[in-house]
Amino acid sequence: MSYTGDVAKGGPADVRELDGLTIAKLEVGDFGNNAYLLRCTETGDGLLIDAAAEADRLLELIGDRPISTIVTTHQHADHWQALKEVAEATGATVVAHPLDAAALPVPVRPVEHGERVPFGVLSLEVVHLRGHTPGSIALHYPGHIFTGDSLFPGGVGNTQKDPERFNRLFTDVVERIFDVYPDETWVYPGHGKDTTLGAERPSLPEWKARGW
C-alpha cells in the first residue's frame, strides 16, 4: 500500500520507501504528535524527529537497529516527553536549535540555519523558522521537509495572535521554504496530516491577510 501519511493514536506507523531512505511516521501521545523515524538504507543508521511521547512505542519502532541522532524541532513539551528515555536507551545525540535547547531535558548539540545533520550516508538541511518558538527548525531532504509546528496543511504554526511573531514566521516560511523548494516537496508536520508545498502555495495570500 502506498504512503499517505494518515496515522492514528495507537495505530501502526505509515512507512514510505524512497531510494536510499525510509520514512516511518507514527502518532504518539495525547496531543496527536507525529514522530518520524528516518533510516539510511545503505548503512541502517537512523534519525528520529521529535521523541514526543510513548517511549515504548518509539523504541519498538526503532527496534534493534541503531539511531545516531534525535532531532527536536522546538522546545514545546509535547514534542519531547519521551526524549530523555529514548536518548538514554539508544545513545543517540540530541540535536536542536540553541534558542530552544535550554528547555530540553538532555544535553543538546546545537545546530543553526543552513547546517546539515548527518545519518548514515545521508543528511538533512536545517531550516530555522522563527515565530512559533524562537528556535523552531524544519529539516529538509530533497523532495521532503519536516516542519515541526511551523507549517501545517492550511497555515503556519500558532503564534498566539501576536502580529510580530506571525509576521516573522510567515516571512520565514515563505522566504526559507516556499521560495526555495519546489511544489512537489512533501510536507511532514508535527501534528496531523501531511501536505505538499504545491497544495498550500495558493493560500499564502489568504494566510497573510488573516494573520494566522
One DSSP character per residue, 37-106 reads: EEEETTT--EEEE---S-HHHHHHHHTTS-EEEEE---S-GGGSTTHHHHHHHH-PEEEE-HHHHTTSSS
pLDDT surpassing 80 at residue 4: yes
166 assigned to some structural domain = no
**Cβ neighbours of 6 (radius 10 Å):** 12
192 assigned to some structural domain = no
The total domain count for the chain is 1
What pLDDT does 1 receive? 55
117 assigned to some structural domain = yes
4 assigned to some structural domain = no
Per residue in 100-148, pLDDT (tens digit) is: 999 999 999 999 999 999 999 999 999 999 999 999 999 999 999 999 9
Which amino acid is it at 99?
L
Give the CATH number, domain containing residue 115: 3.60.15.10
Domain of residue 105, residue span: 14-149
**Cβ neighbours of 164 (radius 10 Å):** 9
177 assigned to some structural domain = no
pTM (two decimals)? 0.98
202 assigned to some structural domain = no
Instruction: State percent of the chain over pLDDT 90.
Output: 100
Buried b (16+ CB within 10 A) or exposed e, 13-35: bbebeeeebebbbbbbbebebbb
Per residue in 17-38, pLDDT (tens digit) is: 999 999 999 999 999 999 999 9
111 assigned to some structural domain = yes
195 assigned to some structural domain = no
Q: What is the mean pLDDT of residues 167-181?
A: 98
